[in-house]
Every structure is written in C-alpha cells, then in structure tokens.
Amino acid sequence: MGTYAVTGSASGMGAASAARLRAAGHRVIGVDLRDADVVADLGTAEGRAHAVREVIRLAGGRLDGVAAVAGVGPQMRDAGVVASINYFGPVALLNGLRPALEAAGGGRAVVISSNSSTTVPMIDEPLVELMLAGDEQAAREHARAGQGGLPAELAANSPSISAYATSKFALSRWVRATAVVPEWARRGITLNAIAPGAVITPLMTGSTVKEEDLDPDAFPTPMPLGVFGHPEDIAFWVDQFLRPEARFTTGALLTVDGGTDAAMRPDSQPTVMPARRR
C-alpha cells in the first residue's frame, strides 16, 4: 500500500478522494484549513512551506502520490486570494513535494483544474502570463483590478469569475508544460489534471442551496447527461491517475463535466498542428 497527500481533504472532492484512497488501504495525509493531518493555508507562502515540510515529515520523505484538490470558487470576493489559492498554492505544493515523489521511484501527481477554463469566455491573458511567470504579488493586484469591469449581476454572484477561470486555465497550462520537463518526466513522475464541471460540493452550492433545488436543464451551461456530478465522480479519476499502472500518462487534461465542454465547443478538439515550414 502507498502513502498519498491530498489537499482540500476536509470536504468535497478532496474528502471523496481521500476516502477512496483510504478504502483501498492506502495511507492518506490530508491537508486543509481544518480537520486535517496538516492544517495549512495554501493561499500564503508560509502556509505552503509549512504544508510541504509537514507532509514530507509525516511521509518519511517518500510519497507515492499527491492530489492537489484544494481550491476556491468564483463566489470569493477577493480575486487576488483566488489567484493565490487556485494557482500558486498547488504549484508551490507540487514543486515542494516533487523530491518526495522522486524518492518513491516515480510517484504520481494530479491537479484539479476546471472546465471553466474552457467554457467561461473571460480568460485574462495578461493574468495568465503573470501566473506562469511566478509573479504572485503582481498577479494578485492585476486580478483585483480586473474585478471592476464586471456586469452588476456577475459582480453580485460571482465577483471573481474571471480570476477563477483564469487561475484554472493557467494551472492547466502549467501542468502541460511541467509534466514533460526532465525533472518530472525522466524521473518517472507523472503529472496530470482533471477539469470537473458542475459538481455538487460546498464550493458550488454554498450554505443555502440544496441539490434537489438545482435543475440541470436550467443551468447556465449545457448539461447533456441531464445530471450534476458528485465528488465521488471526480475521486474515481483522481484514483486512476494516482495508480502505479498510470505510468504512461502524463501532461493530460481530462474533462469530467457530463459533456458540457463538448456541447459548447464541439470543434475545439482535436486541433490541427500546423506544418513546419522549411
């Protein structure tokens, strides 16, 4: 049996992923703001460093896998915080834990992105560049400045929607670029991302909305299967990516959204690779 770290382990998709791994007999080191083996705020540099140190200590320097699930939604009032938690948090954590994955002889890492990165037409490209460049302070300031131009309805219900979608877009780009560098790929460490759609979690429903009150046919984006996802639907794929057998899959972005992305962008994949000019 293996040793795995799961962030966001106290609720939602993180809790479901941790439960699935434990049910298979693995040891799970949970990381969250509360009710976890490692209590840490991944929205701060100090919290990330603490999480990395404690996970490595508890794991004895060796990890078979990491699931970076923790994140916040577009309901957050501070878009700068969204940028820090959703992008800089998982990136710092995974970079910090990479040696422990290498020590296991080639561990597995999976990140939770979102189909919002491809279905929300509000990607802030300068913000993407700031994130990929690692400039957290500038990214936070830029994300906050971008909140001022939102329509009133969006500003009331999803004040950080652009920062949310952009952070997940940048995270997916980071996964694709990082998975193939020698420090990861040639050490046998796989790195992949899952892009969930509308999944019934506290992040989606808040404290007042119940699942039975939600109508998939009235949802703002298409729901071809006519159902919402549940945390266990995502935990299934987290488990698959973390298995030793997933040795030949890296740099992948798996959309798990009941068909939403396919319905909205049926011609977006595959894309044609331009021929090289001689």
Other Cβ atoms within 10 Å of 42 Cβ, number: 26
> What is the rounded distance in angstroms from the CA atom of residue 238 to the CA atom of residue 193?
9
Q: H helices of 194-248, where?
A: 202-205, 231-242
Q: Is 103 exposed, middle or buried (0-12, 13-18, 19+ CB in 10 A)?
A: middle
The CA distances from residue 153 to 8, 124, 130, 150, in Å, are 29, 19, 27, 8
The CA distances from residue 222 to 20, 69, 198, 217, in Å, are 29, 24, 10, 7
* Nearest one of 133, 51, 135 to 97, comparing CA atoms: 51
164 catalytic per annotation = yes
Is residue 265 a contact partner of residue 121, using CB atoms and an 8 Å limit?
no
Of the residues 87, 164, 169, 228, only one is catalytic, namely 164
Amino acid, single-letter form, for residue 51: A
> What is the rounded distance in angstroms from the CA atom of residue 261 to the CA atom of residue 51?
34
Residue owning tokens 């808040």: 206
* Nearest one of 108, 262, 87 to 184, comparing CA atoms: 108
Is residue 87 a contact partner of residue 44, using CB atoms and an 8 Å limit?
no
> What is the rounded distance in angstroms from the CA atom of residue 165 to the CA atom of residue 107?
28
* Active site residues per annotation: 164
